């Protein structure tokens, strides 16, 4: 029986790699102490190499990458997870998953095989059959990555018309027209990026008018204005900001890209320098202003996220297998460490969930 929960209570889900670990607990569930900016572990879920997780727009289902493909979990009222089903993506293990805006399709990025996979979602949130597959083709410029496509991130535009696939190996973002009736995609455009920039993660603004892309090798964030005219999408670059001032970016890599709950701030991170950067977002123009850039007291911050109150921040440090916590004050632009680090085997991704929150996003 689910426990009663207080109003405005949150849990946090943390996904991590399990290879080499004695335990296969790839997802951990934490109670969130919003006042003190800390997490307390409440449950663990057995799943192999849950490298990336995402909440459905309805807030009823959590989806995860796993070695065998993808898995779906129903989110109970107390934040615990109940397995719905598992599905194959008909390829090498994925690295990123997302949904269309109405939770009718799950989209999966394949880093190792350069593939975009679309799967249908059923009304109960479980995963259905594959509806489309698309392999990226071509030769990139990064010898260390074998000059081959590596699809790192997938996003669907807020108007649900186009699917964007960031290809880290090819230095481009492929834009597909998305047939959300049948779950099919077709080529429509390409956002060409600088050579050896390596687009890693993407986010859309709250209103969907602006696209933000963080570049792993170039250690920068580009802002694009999204418009559509006569059925054709356009992404015009309007700003580029540097996450690192290093001229030689070898050993330095940008990773995280996450909005605050209210979309007022955008958080990124830099491995090597092991910093977190927080930008203020101008919602009217889409432009970014750097507010804070400070060390996170860990190695390789794969993900970093503001607590829903914007008063605390957590960094997931993969190589040191820790989470570190900070108090943040935007009036004073300060970031101060908050308590001891928390040990977690190779954490990779974190999402917060408000208990009891449900949103209707599909008609059928």
Average pLDDT over residues 105-128: 97
> Considering the domain boundaries, does residue 214 fall inside one?
yes
> Considering the domain boundaries, does residue 17 fall inside one?
no
What is the reported pLDDT for 363?
74
What is the reported pLDDT for 144?
55
End-to-end CA distance of the chain: 28
- Could you give the number of structural domains in the chain? 1
**pTM for the full predicted model:** 0.95
pLDDT at position 142 over 60: no
Burial class (CB in 10 A: 0-12, 13-18, 19+), 287: middle
What is the reported pLDDT for 5?
47
Distance set, CA 208 to CA 59, 63, 162 (Å): 19, 23, 12
> Considering the domain boundaries, does residue 175 fall inside one?
yes
Closest CA to 353 of 73, 50, 49: 73
φ, ψ at 145 (rounded to 5°):
-110, 20
Average pLDDT over residues 231-236: 96
> Considering the domain boundaries, does residue 48 fall inside one?
no
Average pLDDT over residues 316-327: 97
Q: CB of 101 within 8 A of CB of 158?
A: yes
> Considering the domain boundaries, does residue 2 fall inside one?
no
pLDDT at position 248 over 70: no
φ, ψ at 24 (rounded to 5°):
-100, 40
For CA atoms 315, 202, 103, 158, give the dihedral sign: positive
Share of residues in the chain with pLDDT > 70 (%):
95
User: Tokens 């900016």 correspond to what residue?
Assistant: 37
Q: Express each pLDDT in 291-320 by its tens digit.
A: 999 999 999 999 999 999 999 999 999 999
CA-angle at 211, arms to 175 and 137, nearest 5° = 25
> Considering the domain boundaries, does residue 245 fall inside one?
yes
Share of residues in the chain with pLDDT > 90 (%):
87
101-115 burial, b at 16+ Cβ within 10 Å, e below that, comes to: bbbbbbbbbbbebbb
Those residues whose C-beta lies under 8 Å from the C-beta of residue 113, and which sit 6 or more positions away, are 91, 92, 135
pLDDT at position 56 over 90: yes
What is the reported pLDDT for 3?
45
Is 358 or 309 the better-scoring residue by pLDDT? 309
Rg of the chain in Å (alpha carbons):
19
Q: How far apart are CA 312 and CA 335, in angstroms?
A: 9
CATH number at residue 126: 2.130.10.10
Q: How confident is the model at residue 145 (pLDDT cuts 50, 70, 90)?
A: low
Q: How far apart are CA 26 and CA 37, in angstroms?
A: 23
What is the pLDDT of the chain when averaged over all its residues?
A: 93
> Considering the domain boundaries, does residue 154 fall inside one?
yes
Q: How far apart are CA 333 and CA 346, in angstroms?
A: 29
The helices-and-strands tally (H runs, E runs) of the chain is 0, 29
For 340, the domain range is 97-354
Q: CB of 303 within 8 A of CB of 12?
A: no
> Considering the domain boundaries, does residue 36 fall inside one?
no
Q: CB of 364 within 8 A of CB of 102?
A: no
What is the reported pLDDT for 4?
43
């Amino acid at each position: 029986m689910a426990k009663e929960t207080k109003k405005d209570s949150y849990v946090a889900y943390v996904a991590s790699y399990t290879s080499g670990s004695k335990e296969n607990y790839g997802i951990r569930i934490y109670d969130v102490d919003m006042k003190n900016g800390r997490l307390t572990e409440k449950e663990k879920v057995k799943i192999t190499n849950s490298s990336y997780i995402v909440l459905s727009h309805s807030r009823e289902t959590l989806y995860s990458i796993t070695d065998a493909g993808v898995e779906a979990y129903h989110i109970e009222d107390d934040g615990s997870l109940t397995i719905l089903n598992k599905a194959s993506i008909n390829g090498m293990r994925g690295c990123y998953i997302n949904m269309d805006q109405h939770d009718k399709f799950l989209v999966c990025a394949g880093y190792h095989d350069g593939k975009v996979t679309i799967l249908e979602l059923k009304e109960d949130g479980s995963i259905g059959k594959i509806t489309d597959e698309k392999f990226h083709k071509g030769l990139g410029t990064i010898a260390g990555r074998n000059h081959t496509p590596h699809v790192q991130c997938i996003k669907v535009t807020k108007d649900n018309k186009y699917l964007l696939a960031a290809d880290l190996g090819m230095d481009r973002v492929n834009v597909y027209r998305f047939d959300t009736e049948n779950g099919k995609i077709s080529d429509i455009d390409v956002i060409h990026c600088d050579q050896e920039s390596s687009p890693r993660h993407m986010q859309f603004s709250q209103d969907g008018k602006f696209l933000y892309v963080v570049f792993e090798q170039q250690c920068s964030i580009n802002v694009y204005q999204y418009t559509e005219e006569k059925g054709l999408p356009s992404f015009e670059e309007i700003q580029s900001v540097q996450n690192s001032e290093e001229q030689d970016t070898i050993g330095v890599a940008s990773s995280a890209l996450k909005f605050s709950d209210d979309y007022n701030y955008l958080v990124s991170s830099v491995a090597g320098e092991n910093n977190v950067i927080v930008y203020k977002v101008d919602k009217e123009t889409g432009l970014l202003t750097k507010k804070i850039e400070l060390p996170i007291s860990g190695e390789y911050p794969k993900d970093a996220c503001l607590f829903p109150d914007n008063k605390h921040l957590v960094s997931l440090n993969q190589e040191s297998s820790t989470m570190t916590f900070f108090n943040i004050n935007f009036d004073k632009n300060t970031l101060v460490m908050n308590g001891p680090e928390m040990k977690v085997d190779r954490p990779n991704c974190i999402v917060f969930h408000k208990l009891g929150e449900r949103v209707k996003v599909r008609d059928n």
